[in-house]
Structure 1
Amino acid sequence: MTAYAFVNLTITNPDSFNAYRAQAGAALNKYGGAAMEVSKEAEVIEGGGAAPTVAVILTFPDRAAAKGWINDPDLASVHALREGSGTSQIILM
């Protein structure tokens, strides 16, 4: 069953984020993942906290693929670029 992940990114290091973006697609493709929607205009319409700089909805063939992507040691350097670009939170739905 298709799985989705919601990604919240607050970018403080644009250079690291640009390097991540250059590699993120190939990393997702390895597990059949894709960015379904990307927004730089996210806004909180209920609840507290600030909106992220970038909000992304990812799609994967299933939950196992999403977990494979995030836990793949061969992709650790790609995830490190994202982590080094600011704060991030990824929620598997």
Structure 2
Amino acid sequence: MPAYVLGNVTTLETSAELADYRRLVGATVEQHGGRFVIRGGKVDVFEGDWSPVHLTLIEFPDGASARAWFASPEYRAIADLRRGSVQTELVLLESAG
């Protein structure tokens, strides 16, 4: 059953490191069977006070694949590239049934 990684960027500043991260991250996602479903774009909040700056949604075949991506040496090697430019909440979403 598909699982999703939702990234909610709360602070975003452009930088050369962030550009490198964005250029490289897709290959790490694909290595684990994932694909970007949403990578930025317009957000309409229907209820509540949530105001994300930039949302990302990545689909993986299952939760194990998403966890393997996040822990992979390939992803860990580039993860720090975004740390100085963004603050992100990153969560794994799996269906209960």
Give yes or no for contact 1:27–1:78 (8 Å, CA) kept in 2.
no
| Aligned residue number for residue 89 of structure 1 | 89
Structure 1's 52 and 68: CA in aligned 2 closer, same or farther, altered over 3 A? same
Whether the aligned pair in 1 keeps the contact of 2:25 and 2:75 (CA below 8 Å) is no
Matches within 5 A, 1:1-93: 1-15=1-15, 16-49=17-50, 51-93=51-93
Give the deviation of 1:53 after TM superposition: 1.9
CA shift, 1:63, in A, is 0.2
Q: TM-score, normalised by structure 1?
A: 0.82
Verify the 8 A CA contact 1:17 1:85 in the aligned structure 2: yes
Query: Deviating runs (4+, > 6 A) in structure 1?
Result: none
Identity %: 29
Tell me how large the CA RMSD over aligned residues is.
Answer: 1.8
Q: Give the TM-score normalised by the residue count of structure 2.
A: 0.79
5+ unaligned residues in a row in structure 1: which ranges?
A: none
Which amino acid letter does the alignment assign opposite residue 9 of structure 2?
A: L
Given the superposition, is the C-alpha separation of residues 7 and 22 from structure 1 closer, same or farther in structure 2, using an over 3 Å criterion? same
Q: Which protein has the larger Cα radius of gyration, Structure 1 or Structure 2?
A: 2
Whether contact under 8 Å (1:20, 1:82) holds in the other structure is yes
Report the number of matched residues.
92
For the 8 Å contact 1:10–1:52, the answer to whether it is kept is yes
Task: Give the CA deviation at 1:54.
Answer: 1.1
